[in-house]
Amino acid sequence: MPNAFPIHNLTMANVRAEFEGGFARQNQYQVNINNGWGYAKDGVTVPFLEHLKNSDLKAIYGFTWDDNTKRLISLSCANATLPSSTYATGEVKDNFQGVTEEFAHTRINTDIDFSFYVDRDYKVLMFFEAWMNFISGGNSGPEDLNEPSIYDEERAYYRRFQYPKHYKNFSGFSITKFEKNYATPEATDITYQLINAFPKNITTTPLQYGEAEVMRVTVSMNYDRYRIYRTTPTADTSAPLLGDSTLGANDLSTNTTSTAPIA
């Protein structure tokens, strides 16, 4: 017989006792996009940030990549999904007669969809358009070769892709799930940090006559893997994460961190 717990009567009293503090709510979260794009060969220049500063494109994009824009994007996230993963498996039928077994061989992280409200200046929309444009936008700065720009009307145009380390955000894309008591000492939250994230697809709300609705842009983010950080009242902020002494509190934009049982 399995070692099962005794059958309990479900009452409000024992539910409150077991779930001290209540259940987690799905509408308390925050999405953050910070600097995490790769450096150029000089170890100082970040090609994507230089792309955003390009004088010829800045007027088109209409925003400056600063703390105000980061906060706007964070507050504009209408819905998000926490990362999920699955295993690709292989079947083995020869170990035991008449028995089919499955064994995991590859962990697969599925794309995540985010929906953002679009402000009336279209800064949120243009940030993701700029990111997509940088990935395969051809000539994006004076340091590039003499190639036609995406906005050049006089010459033929083609797409030249950037190096993945330049357009993938290694550590700056994160989702924090918290509760209403986030400002109290006993609060617990979890942060999912997407590693090497980049927008794979963007879709805006269909435009149509009729009842006015707030415009949204839906972004499908691809990523290589993710880390989980769980912050508790007794968390040791100096402890390494995932057993790697090079990973710690400095990997997150906040001042709190803790252990990460899943990578």
Place of tokens 């902020």: 237
Helix (H) or strand (E) holding 189: strand 189-195
CA angle 89, 262, 189 (to 5 degrees): 140
User: In a 3-state reduction of DSSP, which class is residue 165?
Assistant: helix
pTM of the model: 0.78
Cα dihedral value 45, 227, 164, 50, nearest 10: -30
Compute how many other C-beta atoms are within 10 angstroms of the C-beta atom of residue 226. Answer: 23
User: pLDDT tens-digit profile of 100-134?
Assistant: 999 999 999 999 999 999 999 999 999 999 999 89
pLDDT of residue 186: 79
Cα dihedral value 72, 192, 83, 234, nearest 10: -130
* C-alpha span between 57 and 127 (Å, rounded): 12
- Name the nearest CA neighbour of 204 among 93, 104, 82, 122: 122
User: In a 3-state reduction of DSSP, which class is residue 85?
Assistant: strand
User: pLDDT tens-digit profile of 44-74?
Assistant: 999 999 989 988 788 889 999 999 999 999 9
Per the DSSP assignment, residues forming a β-bridge with 213 are none
* C-alpha span between 17 and 44 (Å, rounded): 54
